[in-house]
Amino acid sequence: MELLWRAQATHRAHWPQGDIELATLLSVKTGGCPENCGYCPQSAEFDTGVKAEKLMNVQEVTQAAQAAKDAGATRFCMGAAWRAPKDRDIEKMSELITAVKDLGLQTCATLGMLQSHQALALKDAGLDYYNHNLDTAPEYYSDVVSSRQYQDRLDTLRHVRDAGINVCCGGIVGMGEAPVHRAGLIAQLANLSPYPESVPINSLVRVPGTPLADSEPVDPLDFVRVIAVARITMPKARVRLSAGRQQLGDAVQALCFLAGANSIFYGDKLLVTGNPDVEADTQLLAKLGLKGTPNQTTTETACGA
């Protein structure tokens, strides 16, 4: 209770408007990833029923983005299952980013590891945010994935920062980690200089066929604790309820908002896993007396919020 009180006090001091950012995530290139992240149904190493697909075209993406905007979303995130995109992939993604920006939405992309010149190209295309999660604490990382190193993640975040793109970076709880690893994840995030503008906190969605499918579900109150500590240590960040919201239920989500969460992924799907639908989210926010962030018409206004 003391932790919740302190988190709420911190939240009110830095976010007096109390709005909830509504973000929609679209998988623009699904499956076939060569990484072996133990939580991910899009890995080519695991038999999860997810088929590899080609990159979506501009028309398909803009239709999805317009639908998201019509439903109230203010940020549109595009995810592609690459370990590290090639330069030709960046060119295609730049077209998608520009098209979504033209709709008046903030843009975010998660494409894997980037080189510095690729980050600059995405910035030139109008990308507002780049998502690249640290997943867990550095000492637990090799228990989750062995196809890349923790430093690889940090290098990409540095390239994104150097390009002038806002950072969206968080992690996952419920992967068999100990409480000290959750604390270690938050410490890593909070000690980035500066800390991320957006911090997505995911509750593991246990997908059959992945190595972590049989992990013990995280205690809901432990999940709330992670949200609260993220808010206290990163007071100006948007702390986002991301994957796993469907399993949390309304009451736990309400506690998360009390603890300082002020962003959600909004829509019926999060990459390839289920997510509460728009109507359910609208009803929940209404019951709690919460409102979504108004649509911004310019990047300058959005990034300064």
Annotate 36-48 with DSSP letters as a single string: --TT-TTBTTS-S
Q: How many CA atoms within 13 Å lie on the side-chain side of 290?
A: 24
Per-residue pLDDT at 300: 34
Tokens coding 102? 């033209």
Q: Please give, one letter per residue, the 3-state secondary structure of 132-177.
A: CCCECCHHHHHHCCCCCCHHHHHHHHHHHHHCCCEEECCEEECCCC
Residue 252 burial (10 A CB sphere; 0-12, 13-18, 19+): middle
List of the chain residues with pLDDT < 70: 44-45, 47-48, 267-276, 295-305
pTM of the model: 0.88
Per-residue pLDDT at 267: 65
Per-residue pLDDT at 293: 81
Buried b (16+ CB within 10 A) or exposed e, 72-86: bbbbbbbbbbbebbe
Per-residue pLDDT at 40: 80
Instruction: Name the residue ranges covered by the structural domains of the chain.
Output: 2-303
Per-residue pLDDT at 50: 75
Per-residue pLDDT at 276: 55
Per-residue pLDDT at 245: 83
Class (C level, CATH) for 2-303: alpha beta
Amino acid at 91: E
Per-residue pLDDT at 281: 84
Per-residue pLDDT at 227: 97
Quick check: 263 and 240 in contact, CB under 8 A? yes
Catalytic annotation, residues:
33, 37, 40, 77, 108, 168, 240
